[in-house]
Structure 1
């Protein structure tokens, strides 16, 4: 398989800090997401992607929840979420690689199958282990609540999300012997004052960047089977076609000549 374009480590990225709260036995992950949102909007602009404002807000909340989740997971884990919403009808896709700190995703609004209820899919890949998939139901259209439902049903331990500023989010996840009464009584104001009221021990600082890694070669690999079977149907009378990356929606233009050369060399 053609390699992905590497992450640009010269970019400062988003720092996510994780803490252990002593005597409460919870993990706290938190970050201000302004910088990551700027990179997301630059991506939309570069590839001429237009997202409905309501869908954009849902995606940004999901991106924050996903990144905090990744920061709380092992370094060798790759994760992908697909969150299906009924109202509005859309799918949010997110994927991240903890080894590189890359996170990306997109909103799907076309050809979305209506279901009986919203549903949350999680796929986890760890080297030398079978892929794990979970699917849980949830209610409403808030991605933070969807992730909390996933933790309760699939992770079998609770987690709560809080938006403590316009673009700053916190995840609090329970560990064994968690003080559940304290955990359940948490509010936005109490989470804002954790540094003052509780004893926090810094565990990690992780850097995440908006990055997919898609490139022309990877897109041509996707198109290769169709090209071999029906080149005329793929290109018609055109000398080039446009394909959107299924992971991030990036626009790639593939010429017939380049596609023919790729298939011949395969």
Structure 2
């Protein structure tokens, strides 16, 4: 049972993402107001007793937004997972999601984080439930949007720009074949706020996403099952209850030794 688990699972807030083709510029614009996603993210933190430092909290929300806009700009059967390793602040961010079924989730790691000489994004691309590619890109600074733009230019080998239209209303513009790259590079937040007046935008698609991991205590039991008897005894430490943490979203689950042994006997 999860710590502070509600009696029933609340209906998740639905995040609407609209994509537009910018005619004459050959660019794709994705935009969403992330308030519904952020509300469920904070409910998740409260349900599991999680608390991140303000800077880490903001960076994770921006990474979730960037990943969601990225997914909305990609084929519907494609998923992605990004691990972002920062030297300063020293931590990892992990965000992942897909369009079918529509969900995004993520978490912050601050303990046992490997130190590299430079900050890195390790990106996985997933199609039909199978990993189809992985890339590792170096980036500079601690700005999430700048890091994702560097990832696009090095790994995707095309331009991408991220903008804050409003506090939680975010926009991503990505280059398509024959894109007017000079125009894309020169865009500012002021330009984004008036882009529908200056450019011809054609609505392509509307996709919906929710905050969801899909983890459960049963899905975390295999992590315990990999341990040898001695390591398993050390994990419980003489107690009958152990707390397991989801590696994708940080959710905390309490499991009794008796429950785990019963599960193990049937698997």
Same fold (TM over 0.5): yes
Maintained 8 Å contact 1:40/1:210? yes
Shift of 1:131: 2.8
Within 2, Cα distance between the matches of 1:177 and 1:156?
A: 13
Query: Which residue of structure 2 aligns with residue 138 of structure 1?
Result: 139
TM-score by structure 2 length? 0.93
Within 2, Cα distance between the matches of 1:120 and 1:23?
A: 32
- Of the structure 1 ranges 155-164 and 221-230, higher mean CA displacement relative to structure 2 is found in 221-230
Query: Which residue of structure 2 aligns with residue 211 of structure 1?
Result: 212
Query: Which residue of structure 2 aligns with residue 190 of structure 1?
Result: 191
* Structure 1 residues 41-87: Cα deviation after superposition (integer angstroms, max 9, x where no partner): 11101100010001111111111111100111111112100011111
Query: Which residue of structure 1 aligns with residue 154 of structure 2?
Result: 153
Query: Which residue of structure 1 aligns with residue 78 of structure 2?
Result: 77
Maintained 8 Å contact 1:227/1:234? no
Query: Which residue of structure 1 aligns with residue 35 of structure 2?
Result: 34
* Structure 1 residues 78-124: Cα deviation after superposition (integer angstroms, max 9, x where no partner): 21000111111110000102101110000001111221111111001
Query: Which residue of structure 2 aligns with residue 108 of structure 1?
Result: 109
Query: Which residue of structure 2 aligns with residue 202 of structure 1?
Result: 203
Within 1, Cα distance between the matches of 2:129 and 2:217?
A: 28
Query: Which residue of structure 2 aligns with residue 21 of structure 1?
Result: 22
For residue 227 of structure 2, give the secondary structure of its aligned residue in structure 1. helix
Query: 1:89–1:206: structure 2 CA closer, same or farther, 3 Å change rule?
Result: same
Shift of 1:127: 2.3
1:165 aligns with 2:180: no
Shift of 1:236: 2.6
* Structure 1 residues 152-171: Cα deviation after superposition (integer angstroms, max 9, x where no partner): 00101110001111111100
The number of residue pairs the alignment matches comes to: 259
Within 2, Cα distance between the matches of 1:189 and 1:223?
A: 52
1:92 aligns with 2:93: yes
- Of the structure 1 ranges 134-143 and 11-20, higher mean CA displacement relative to structure 2 is found in 11-20
Shift of 1:11: 3.6
Shift of 1:233: 2.3
1:118 aligns with 2:119: yes
Runs of 4+ with deviation above 6 angstroms? none
Shift of 1:248: 0.2
TM-score by structure 1 length? 0.93
